[in-house]
């Protein structure tokens, strides 16, 4: 990934854009499009899990910095509100940042500020040797 966290992979397919990234908070945004809906016309839950994974991983990587890389080891995402359209914003903030692992919470909200999904992502810190 580049310093602006954009690349031509899965997140680009989702339309996920990292709006800001610091050691204490990462914010991303994406538009709900027809290609992201499940058969009942609602945003697919896998998209929300993916957003939790990306925002938590970017947050962990920014905090861990030059010490090495991070990889996701657990993703638990709760779906709280069905969404059919609009722009969603996710915010990752730390719960725990330790020597070998980190735990981040990610809130995904709609344009009215209502909580759509809440996830937790655990990442392992892979220190450089």
| Catalytic choice (17, 25, 31, 53) | 53
Q: Looking at residue 39, which CATH number applies to its domain? A: 3.10.129.10
Task: Please state the rounded mean pLDDT for residues 49-72.
Answer: 97
Distance set, CA 5 to CA 16, 90, 112 (Å): 10, 15, 27
Q: What angle do CA 109, 44, 72 make, to 5 degrees?
A: 75
What beta strand segments (E) does the chain contain? 17-21, 26-32, 68-79, 86-97, 101-109, 115-127
> Which residues are CB-contacts of 35 (< 8 A; sequence separation ≥ 6)?
none
Asked whether 102 and 60 are in contact (CB, 8 A), the reply is yes
Domain of residue 115: give its range: 10-127
Is the residue at 5 inside a domain? Answer: no
Query: What pLDDT is recorded for position 1?
Result: 41
In a domain, 3, yes or no: no
Nearest to 43 by CA among 105, 115, 116: 116
Is 4 inside any structural domain? Answer: no
pLDDT band at residue 9 using 50, 70 and 90 as cut-offs? confident
Would you say residue 1 lies in a domain? no
Q: For 69-115, write each residue's pLDDT tens digit.
A: 999 999 999 999 999 999 999 999 999 999 999 999 999 999 999 99
Give 29-49 pLDDT, tens digit per residue.
Answer: 999 999 999 999 999 999 999
Residues 91, 6, 15, 47, CA torsion sign? negative
Is 129 one of the catalytic residues?
A: no
- Give yes or no for a contact between 123 and 104, defined as CB atoms under 8 angstroms apart: yes
Overall number of domains in the chain: 1
């Amino acid at each position: 990934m580049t310093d602006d966290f954009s690349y031509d992979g899965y997140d680009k397919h989702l339309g996920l854009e990292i709006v800001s990234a610091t050691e204490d908070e990462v914010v991303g945004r994406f538009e709900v499009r027809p290609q992201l809906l499940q058969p009942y016309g609602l945003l697919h839950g896998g998209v929300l899990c993916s957003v939790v994974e990306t925002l938590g991983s970017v947050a962990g990587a920014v905090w861990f910095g030059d010490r090495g890389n991070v990889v996701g080891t657990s993703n638990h995402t709760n779906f709280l509100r069905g969404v059919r359209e609009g722009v969603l914003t996710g915010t990752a903030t730390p719960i725990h940042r330790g020597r070998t692992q980190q735990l981040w919470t990610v809130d995904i909200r709609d344009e009215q500020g209502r909580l759509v999904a809440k996830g937790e992502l655990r990442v392992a810190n892979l220190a450089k040797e």
